[in-house]
Structure 1
C-alpha cells in the first residue's frame, strides 16, 4: 500500500498576514463572479456552475432568472423551459432536473426560503459542500470556505493551506488563515488562482505574492 506523501507545514502566521494583507489591499471587497439577485438564484447559479465556467453560467441564467427568481416561479416555469434556458452549459439536462427538484424541496419544506444551514443546503439535489459554503458565505455572510480546484492549487503551491484533498484544504484555511481574513479568504484565493496562479503556467512574474510563495516551479 502506497504511503500518503507527508504534507509540508503551512506558512507561518506572519507570512499569512502579509499575503492576505496584500490581497485585501488589491481587492478589499471581493465577490463571486456568478450573477445572482437573492439566495435562491445564488443556489441555482452555483449548482449550475459545476464543470462550467462562471461566464457560461451567467449567460445561461440571464433569461432564466428574469423569468424565475424564486422557487415557486421556477416550478411554474417547468422542467422543459428550464432545460431550454440552460442547454448551453455542461450536463444541462441533469442540472435542470436538480433545479426543479431543489425548488420543490424549498417550497414544500422551507416555505420557499433558502435555509442558512450547511446540512440543509447539502440535502438539496445538486448541492454539495462547496456549493453550500458559497451560499453560506455570499448570501448569509458566514466565513465558510468553498474550496474548488483553483483554491486547492493555490493553497498547496503557496502553503497557505496544504492538503491532500479539498476537505483538508478547507480545514487548513480555517486553521491557518488569520480570523480577520476568513470572510473573504476563499474569494481572494479563487480569483488569484483563476487569473494569476494558473494551473499550467502560473504568472509568477506579475504575482504580488511571489516573494512570499515557496512554490519551487516559479515561472518568469
Structure 2
C-alpha cells in the first residue's frame, strides 16, 4: 500500500515543504556558487531513473570547467575547489535534487541514481535496482555510502527494493541526517570522487578491455538517444 500509493504523494509534499523552508539557503548557495564557479552554479547530468528512463539530475556545481591546452577537462582533483569540497562534505550539493523529487524523477528514499556508464556494467539482476524511483538517499548511503564496494552498494539497493515500508524510509531519513551532520562516508578513502563501476571492474580483472569499450559505447549511445 505505502510503496504503490502513498510514497509518491509523500515525496512530493516533503520535497515542496523542504524547498519552501530551505529557500533562503538555496538562494544563498546559488549566488555564492555563481561567484565561486564564475558562472552557472548548477550541474546537470543524465542519470538512469525508474525503469531505466534517463533524466537530468541537478546538483550544485563543485568542480570548475578548467581544461588543458588540448581542450580536455583537467582531472577531478584539480577542478574540485575548496568550496566544492565543503559542499560535498556537508551534502549541500545535493539540495537541488529536491526539484527532481518534486518533478517525479526521484524519490526521497531509494537507490541513489548512478551514472549511465555505471548502469551498463551492471548484471541483469543488479539492474533491477532501477525498478523504483532513485532516491536522494538510500539504504546503501546509510551503510557506508561511497566507502563500500560496488557489489555491496548494489546489494543494499536490491535489499531495499524487496521491502519498501514507511517506517523503513523514516529510519533511513533519520540515519542519513545523522551521517550528514557527522560527515560520515562521503567518499572512498583516498579518492576525491567515487570510482566508476566499469573502471572498478576493469581494474579488478572482472571484465576485459573489449567488454569495457563496448559497454562505454553503449552508455554514450543511450545518453545521445535521451537528449
TM-score normalized by the length of structure 2: 0.25
TM-score normalized by the length of structure 1: 0.25
Q: Which has the larger radius of gyration?
A: 1
Say which structure is richer in strand. Answer: 2
